């Protein structure tokens, strides 16, 4: 293959070669008086035809054309890249302009990293992250740049309250979601599954939390609980997520240790456990009575395989009913569920229900229905039901503030007891 310098030398040699004789001489007045066909260049039209017919000249002409086309295309691409980078430097680049910069490789790399860290709009930061992820997938980044992208895009979302009653006795569940949110599965760039994560929790007063978890692909998640009794002082107490990431299925293999992401909470001795309970009134009580009910159970994924719920060591419910709740509600639900069986004395615990984030308009039209399975059922004596057959049951919901404190979205809990209508169920032996 001929490089540009050799090609230029050949063109110069061809241009400086002596012209072949025209064969016409300078005879005759007509020849002397007529204008020369070549316009004074010393080469006739016939001579040019012969010159171009030479195979060597054809090769040179083809190479010259290819160089001109290739150079023009490169100049056009460079012009487009300059316009794309210039758009990134504007005061408010659009999402389309930011994402389009990925098509020009490393040309806009510095501006994309800048937008990822300092853009005012979150959607602009996300677009810059997607563009960088696309450049990464095309092997245009070095390992240190890939690590920098993960560090800058790393985000952690804690799900817990900042303040709890000092008198709380139930364990406090805490959730953490973390990862690089602009990585999209199935998108044009690096996917979430191209990163594996491992994490540990510091400050939870549990040895098992302080050990790194096994590696897993995709966005990270942590679910754990802390015991208020493990924190004798009111605080504030500090938890921290320490995560590591490594690549999988990519050209470059590396591992990066990410910064600790803290979360603080405290116990308030002046905050009562029942502070989440709202005041009862008849209008909202009637709205709850309409919104909560038992619905007939349905089979499992296989229609021919019924679902069963244990009653005791000998009996089960076939296709047990589910608790249905129509939303929106006048206020939140955070209630323990118990069931009553017609003809059987007592109530038996059967799970719990939490419906958070509810408004204050109990008279609004129903927009959705959520269903909660019953169970597990606890405490039913072996002789409570003497034989299989059809029975009637109903659910009784009792407010449980401990459940409300466990969910950070719960703001006000309906304090009354809710009782559903009776529903017919079938009791069978194991």
Q: What are the residue ranges spanned by the domains of the chain?
A: 47-141, 155-271, 275-429
- 25-39, 85-99, 150-164, 264-278: segment of lowest average pLDDT: 25-39
User: 46: pLDDT confidence band, cut at 50, 70 and 90?
Assistant: low
SS3 (DSSP) at 184: coil
Burial classification of residue 41, based on how many CB atoms lie within 10 Å of its CB (0-12 exposed, 13-18 middle, 19 or more buried): exposed
* Letter string b/e over residues 318-351, b meaning 16 or more CB atoms within 10 A of that residue's CB: ebbbbbebbbbbbbbbbbbbbbbbeebeebbebb
Phi, psi angle pair for 319, to nearest 5°: 45, 65
- Report the candidate in 13, 20, 17, 44 with the shortest Cα–Cα distance to residue 31: 44
Q: What is the pTM of this model?
A: 0.71
Question: Which are the contacts of 107, defined by CB distance < 8 A and separation ≥ 6?
Answer: 81, 82, 84, 85, 101
- 41-55, 213-227, 340-354, 370-384: segment of lowest average pLDDT: 41-55
The residue to which tokens 């805490």 are assigned: 174
Whether the per-residue pLDDT at 22 is higher than 60: the answer is no
d(CA 88, CA 96): 10
Per-residue confidence (pLDDT) for residue 4, from 0 to 100: 46
Whether the per-residue pLDDT at 36 is higher than 80: the answer is no
Number of H helices, E strands in the chain: 10, 19
Per-residue confidence (pLDDT) for residue 386, from 0 to 100: 85
pLDDT tens digits, one per residue of 244-296: 999 998 988 999 999 999 999 999 999 999 999 999 899 999 999 999 999 98
- 152-161, 302-311, 335-344: segment of lowest average pLDDT: 302-311
Structure tokens belonging to residue 424: 């017919």
Count the Cβ atoms, other than its own, within 10 Å of residue 127: 26
User: 102: pLDDT confidence band, cut at 50, 70 and 90?
Assistant: confident
d(CA 427, CA 387): 8
H helices of 45-155, in order, are 45-53, 55-88, 95-100, 109-118, 122-137, 143-153
Whether the per-residue pLDDT at 30 is higher than 80: the answer is no
Whether the per-residue pLDDT at 141 is higher than 60: the answer is yes
Per-residue confidence (pLDDT) for residue 362, from 0 to 100: 43
User: 105: pLDDT confidence band, cut at 50, 70 and 90?
Assistant: confident
- Report the candidate in 292, 391, 376, 293 with the shortest Cα–Cα distance to residue 340: 391
What's the whole-number mean pLDDT along residues 73-90? Answer: 60
Average pLDDT in the chain: 82
Omega within 30 of 0 (cis) for the link into 328 = yes
pLDDT tens digits, one per residue of 362-375: 444 557 899 999 98
pLDDT tens digits, one per residue of 169-204: 889 999 999 999 999 888 788 999 999 999 999 999
In this structure, CATH architecture of domain 155-271 = Sandwich (2.60)
SS3 (DSSP) at 294: strand
Per-residue confidence (pLDDT) for residue 44, from 0 to 100: 55
């Amino acid at each position: 293959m001929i490089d540009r310098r050799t090609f230029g030398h050949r063109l110069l040699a061809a241009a400086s070669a002596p012209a072949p004789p025209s064969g016409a001489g300078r005879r005759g007045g007509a020849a002397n008086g007529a204008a020369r066909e070549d316009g004074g260049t010393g080469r006739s039209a016939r001579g040019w035809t012969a010159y171009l017919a030479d195979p060597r000249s054809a090769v040179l002409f083809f190479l010259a054309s290819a160089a001109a086309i290739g150079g023009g295309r490169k100049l056009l691409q460079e012009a487009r890249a300059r316009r794309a980078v210039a758009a990134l430097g504007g005061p408010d680049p659009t999402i389309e302009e930011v994402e389009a910069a990925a098509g020009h490789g490393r040309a806009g790399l510095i501006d994309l990293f800048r937008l990822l860290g300092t853009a005012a709009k979150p959607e602009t930061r996300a677009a810059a992250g997607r563009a960088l992820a696309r450049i990464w997938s095309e092997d245009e980044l070095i390992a240190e740049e890939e690590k920098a992208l993960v560090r800058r895009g790393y985000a952690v979302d804690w799900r817990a309250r900042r303040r709890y009653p000092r008198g709380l006795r139930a364990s406090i569940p805490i959730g953490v979601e973390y990862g690089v949110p602009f990585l999209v599965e199935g998108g044009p760039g690096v996917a979430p599954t191209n990163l594996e994560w491992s994490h540990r929790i510091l400050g939870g007063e549990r040895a098992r939390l302080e050990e790194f978890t096994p590696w897993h692909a995709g966005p990270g998640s942590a679910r754990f609980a802390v015991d208020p009794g493990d924190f004798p002082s009111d605080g504030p107490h500090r938890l921290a997520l320490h995560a590591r990431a490594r690549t999988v299925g990519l050209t470059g293999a590396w591992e990066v240790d990410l910064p600790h992401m803290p979360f603080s909470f405290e116990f308030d001795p002046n905050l009562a456990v029942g502070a989440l309970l709202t005041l009862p009134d008849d209008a909202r009580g009637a709205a709850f009575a309409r919104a909560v009910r038992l619905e007939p159970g349905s089979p499992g994924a296989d229609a021919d395989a019924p679902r069963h719920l244990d009653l005791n060591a000998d009996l089960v419910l076939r296709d047990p009913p589910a608790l249905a709740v129509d939303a929106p509600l006048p206020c939140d639900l955070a209630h323990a569920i118990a069931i009553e069986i017609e003809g059987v004395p007592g109530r038996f615990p059967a799970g719990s229900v939490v419906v958070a984030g509810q408004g204050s308009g109990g008279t609004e039209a129903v927009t959705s229905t959520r269903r909660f399975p019953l169970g597990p059922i606890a405490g039913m004596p072996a002789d409570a039901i003497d034989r299989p057959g059809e029975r009637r049951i109903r659910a009784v919901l009792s407010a449980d503030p401990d459940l409300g404190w466990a969910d950070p979205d719960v703001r006000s809990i309906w304090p009354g007891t809710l009782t559903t209508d009776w529903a017919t169920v079938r009791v069978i032996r194991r």
